[in-house]
Amino acid sequence: MFRRNRFLLLFLVLLLALGLTACGGKATEEAATQAPAEKATEAPAEKVTEAPEEKATEAPAATASTEFHGAWPYKVPPEGHFNTFAPGAISLGIYWPVMEMPGAMYLWAKDDWVPLLFTSWEYVPDEDLFVVHLRKGVKWSDGSDFTAQDVVTTFDVGRLRKWTVFKYVDEVKAVDDYTVQFHMHNPSTVVERYVVRLTPIRAHSVYGEFAKKVQELRAAGKGEDSEEWKALQEELNKFRPERMVVTGPYMIDPDSITEAQLTLVKNENSWLADQVKFDRLVIYNGETPTITPLVLAGDIDYATHGFPPATEKQFIEQGIRIARPPIYSGPALYFNHNIYPLNRAEVRQAIAYAINRDENGAVSLGDSAKAVKYMVGFSDTLVPIWLNEEQIAKLNTYEYDPKKAEEILLSIGFKRDSDGVWIDDKGNRMEFELTFPAEYADWSAAAQNAAEQLTKFGIKVTPRGVQFQQHRTEVKEGKFQMAIRHWGSSSQPHPHFAYKGVLFNYNYVANPEGKGMNFPMKQVVDGKEVDLEQLIVDSAKGLDEEAQKAHVAEVAYVFNKLLPVVPLWERYGNNPVNETARVTGWPPDDHYLLKNSAYGDNFAVIALLTGMLEPIQK
């Protein structure tokens, strides 16, 4: 639960730190985001009284040169658009919080928060409520006030997208302009994370009509199976706002969007406009092959792409720092469970034994890839936190063992053809296509290597690259045989999110785009019928994480036995950081921000929002 008094104390301490450090020291984040007013009133006064002539002569140059250069793939209009509830939105991944902000960002090493649009929040157990308190005085880029109506609208429209939060929350109510209540029909500690961190708050001025229609349908008893609901979902998917209305300090300039790059300009209405130190952010478009030469040329200050070991070596030789934040995720083999015999657990177990995961990681990402050990669907580093020694001892680690893989297939009536390719018990040769996002260098290498290893074992696998945005769509629509997608969660540490991200979002459970892998969530394990969907929901049930551990352990065991997907290796970032071109103030490798997930609460984004990162003065 969020502790208001604790954060008030942090605020005072960290505000003093801001005054004592030039580049933003270790503990400036919370204060920086909570005190924009003090910054806005003090800094201009110092400049005007101490150096008015310098301000007059330097301001134009500063306006032209204070840029942060990042990279993230996006689709250009008309395929790319500004409706962030629909596929194809130009939301820019890790940079989304600088535009449509969430309630807060999380500090993984501290188990604490950086408050943004929400200043505090708490559970009210006796009433099954989760209550958030909004920051006052915040305006949207269109000039409208940020209020509780924006939060309610966001979650009402989220119902159309089958958000998992509604497995725990049934009603969202504005108590007043700056207080919102979430009633929990299934109380859970993960409600905090769904509400506070995982949900960028959208503008009622943009999406209010959709929220109104959702409310009308619910009042009429029309649910997600009704034709009216499906029609509204389609209407939402086709909605195309002219621009993104934001509370964050930056917003996309639609006229700047090209195939190569786009520009985020300062949102002068933002409550953080005077806190951030850069006039604009330039985001280069593309995946690893496109971004690599730009990093080498010094055009990019920071990137999170998966760079091959040889490229990383080039960066280091050129004096570019490599940051290795944890990802808590990595690539996995996905299976279309409509296809026999991939829908048999024994086949997936054999595949897990047949792949040398150490080799697969080494050729894919070098030192930034660690072979998965426990095979439970969430990070190995988190397993001892959630499972005890006895529970861990029951897990199968599927160490590389082609002989064991062969024994499994023979035991279920499979045999080899004359050329060594396996034939299943129905007489069909085991020949499959493995698709992967072509532009993801690390996942591409993982796919190629896995295909080679499986083919050598006798399961003939043909790898095929697909344009990375199209690949996600095809997998979600179930248009694949085998595929490389993610396992784990890089957004939140609770194992529930790792399971939800794979078995809900890429399955029929919470996937509005299709049935995905179509893995049946009701299974038989050790002679007992289990409802995996309910187990995953229950893994986050209640407000006591200690009590949740038994449910997490049960899900982990079932995942380990059934292997709905086969995790390959856990990724650590190999993020290039250019410390000499445009940006200074980067936190060192031992800073607590570097313990944050690179794709969840990215350290560079928090450092941007809090003013820790500054332009190099030239």
- Which structural domains are found in the chain, ordered by start? 100-243 (3.90.76.10), 250-325+573-615 (3.40.190.10), 328-571 (3.10.105.10)
- The per-residue pLDDT for 367 is 87
pLDDT band (50, 70, 90) for residue 64: low
Are 323 and 573 within 8 A, CB to CB?
yes
Are 407 and 436 within 8 A, CB to CB?
no
Which residue reads 């999110």 in tokens? 497
- What tokens does 89 get? 């939105």
Residue 224 CB: number of other CB atoms within 10 A?
A: 13
pLDDT band (50, 70, 90) for residue 490: confident
Are 28 and 14 within 8 A, CB to CB?
yes
- The answer to whether residue 43 scores a pLDDT higher than 60 is no
For the packed helices 345-354 and 545-562, what is the interaxial angle rounded to 10 degrees? 90
Task: Please return the burial class of 525, using the count of CB atoms within 10 Å of its CB with bins 0-12, 13-18 and 19+.
Answer: middle
Pick the closest to residue 609 from 121, 246, 116, 38 (CA basis): 116
Burial per residue of 577-615, b for 16 or more beta-carbon CB atoms within 10 angstroms, e otherwise: bbeeebbbbbbeeebbbbebbbbbbbbbbbbbbbbbbbb
- SS3 of 341, please? coil
- SS3 of 361, please? helix
Q: Phi first, then psi: give them for residue 412, nearest 5 degrees.
A: -110, 20
- In this predicted model, what pLDDT tens digit does every residue of 304-337 receive, in sequence order? 998 999 999 999 999 999 999 999 999 999 999 9
SS3 sequence, 402-464? HHHHHHHHHHCCCEECCCCCEECCCCCECEEEEEEECCCHHHHHHHHHHHHHHHHHCCEEEEE
Q: Phi first, then psi: give them for residue 173, nearest 5 degrees.
A: -135, 135
Are 492 and 500 within 8 A, CB to CB?
no
Are 396 and 353 within 8 A, CB to CB?
no
Handedness of CA 187, 193, 194, 199 (dihedral sign): positive
Q: Are strands 431-437 and 460-466 parallel, antiparallel or unpaired?
A: parallel
Task: Please return the burial class of 544, using the count of CB atoms within 10 Å of its CB with bins 0-12, 13-18 and 19+.
Answer: exposed
- The answer to whether residue 33 scores a pLDDT higher than 50 is no
Percent of the chain with pLDDT over 90: 85
Which residue reads 């720092």 in tokens? 321
Rounded-to-integer distance, Cα 281 and Cα 97, Å? 13
Lowest mean pLDDT among 49-53, 295-299, 501-505, 601-605: 49-53
Residue 434 CB: number of other CB atoms within 10 A?
A: 21
pLDDT band (50, 70, 90) for residue 513: confident
- In this predicted model, what pLDDT tens digit does every residue of 263-298 receive, in sequence order? 999 999 999 999 999 999 999 999 999 999 999 999
Q: Which helix (H) or strand (E) holds 333?
A: strand 326-335
- SS3 of 3, please? coil
